[in-house]
Structure 1
Amino acid sequence: MPDSADILWFKKQFQARITPALAGTPLTVDMVTAIACQETGAIWSLLRRKNLGTNKILALCVGDTLDADKGRRAFPQTKADLLAAPDGAAMFEIAHQALVDMAQHIPGFAGVAARPHKFCHGFGLFQRDLQFFLSDPDYFLEKRYERFEDTLALCVDELKKGLRKLGLQDRSELSDQELAAVGIAYNTGGFKPAKGLKQGHFNGTQFYGEALFDFIRLAHTVALSGEQAELEAPPPGQAILPPPSAVTASGPQFRVKTQLSMLRVRSEPLISQPETANVISHLPDGHPVRAVSGKPVKGFLEIETSLAGALIHGFVSAKLLVADAAPEPIAVIEPAPALPSSGIVAVWMPRKSGSVTRRIDLANAHSLNEAGQPQRKGTDAETLRQELAAIIDWLAVDKPAHGRYQPRSGLTFCNIYAHDYCHLAGVYLPRVWWSAHALLKLAQGETVAPLIGNTIVELRANDLFRWLRDHGPAFGWRQTGSLSKLQQAANQGAIGLIIARRKEDGRSGHIVPVVPELGELRARRDSAGEVTAPLQSQAGASNFRFGTGKAGWWLGQEFAESAFWIHA
Structure 2
Amino acid sequence: MATYKVTANSLRLRSTPNSETHRNIIAVLSNGQLVEKIADSVPDWWEVRILQSGAAAATGFVAHRFLQAVQSAAVPSPPLVSNAFLASLVKPVHMTENRTSVVRNVITGRAYPLGEPNRPFRDRSTVPAASASIHNIVNWINVEQSDRYAPNSTSTYCNIYAHDYCYLNGAYLPRVWWSSRALIDLSNRIQVPVQYGQTVNELNANSLLRWFLEWGDDFGWKRVFDLNELQTEANRGKVCIISARNANENRSGHICAVVPENNLQKATRNADGSVKIPLQSQAGRVNKKYFNNSLWWLTPTFADFGYFVHE
Give 1 or 2 for the bigger CA radius of gyration. Answer: 1
- Structure 2 residue 297 is matched with structure 1 residue 567: no
Residue 94 of structure 2: aligned partner = 348
| Whole-angstrom CA distance in 2 between matches of 1:483 and 1:310 | 19
- List aligned pairs for 1:42-121, cutoff 5 A: none
Of Structure 1 and Structure 2, the greater helix share is in: 1
Residues 528/256 of structure 1: CA separation in 2 closer, same or farther (3 Å cut)? farther
- Aligned letter for 1:284? S
Whether the 8 Å CA contact 1:385–1:493 is kept in 2: the answer is yes
Instruction: Please name the residue that 2:45 is paired with.
Output: 300
Partner of 1:505: 249
1:435–1:457 contact (8 Å) kept in structure 2: yes
Provide, for residues 118-142 of structure 1, a one-character-per-residue CA deviation record: whole Å limited to 9, x for no partner. xxxxxxxxxxxxxxxxxxxxxxxxx
Pick closer, same or farther for the CA change 1:524–1:422 going to 2, 3 Å.
same
Flag structure 2 segments of 5+ consecutive residues without an equivalent: none
Listed as ranges, the gaps of 5+ residues in structure 1 are: 1-251
Partner of 1:490: 234
TM-score normalized by structure 1? 0.50
Instruction: Work out whether 1:368 is the aligned partner of 2:111.
Output: no
For 1:485 and 1:479, the matched residues in 2 are separated by 11
Task: Provide the rounded CA distance (Å) in 2 between the counterparts of 1:286 and 1:411.
Answer: 34
Alpha-carbon distance between aligned partners in 1 of 2:99 and 2:298, rounded to the nearest angstrom:
43
Identical counterparts, % of pairs: 36
User: Does the Cα contact within 8 Å between 1:305 and 1:313 map onto a contact in 2?
Assistant: yes
Mapped to 2, the partners of 1:410 and 1:441 lie a distance apart of 35
Offset of 1:558 from its aligned partner?
1.1
User: C-alpha deviations, 1:511-559, integer Å up to 9, x for none?
Assistant: 0000000113111111232211000111111112122142x11011111
Q: Which amino acid aligns with 2:300?
A: Q
Deviation at 1:355, TM superposition (A): 4.7
Please give the residue correspondences for 1:129-528 in structure 2 after superposition, counting only pairs within 5 Å.
252-258=1-7, 260-272=8-20, 276-293=22-39, 295-307=40-52, 311-326=57-72, 342-350=88-96, 355-362=100-107, 364-399=110-145, 402-528=146-272
Pair 526,306 (structure 1): closer, same or farther in 2 beyond 3 Å: farther
Amino acid at match of 1:558: T
Superimposed CA distance per residue, residues 70-117 of structure 1 (whole angstroms, 9 cap, x where no aligned partner): xxxxxxxxxxxxxxxxxxxxxxxxxxxxxxxxxxxxxxxxxxxxxxxx
Where 1:418 maps in the other structure, the secondary structure is helix
CA contact (8 A) 1:536 1:549 kept: no
Q: In the alignment, is the contact (CA less than 8 A) between 1:264 and 1:280 conserved in 2?
A: yes
Q: Does structure 2 conserve the Cα–Cα contact (< 8 Å) formed by 1:256 and 1:284?
A: no
Amino acid at match of 2:57: L
Give CA-to-partner distance per residue, 1:404-440, whole Å, 9 cap, x none. 0111123111100000000001110011011111111
Q: C-alpha displacement at 1:310, in angstroms?
A: 8.4
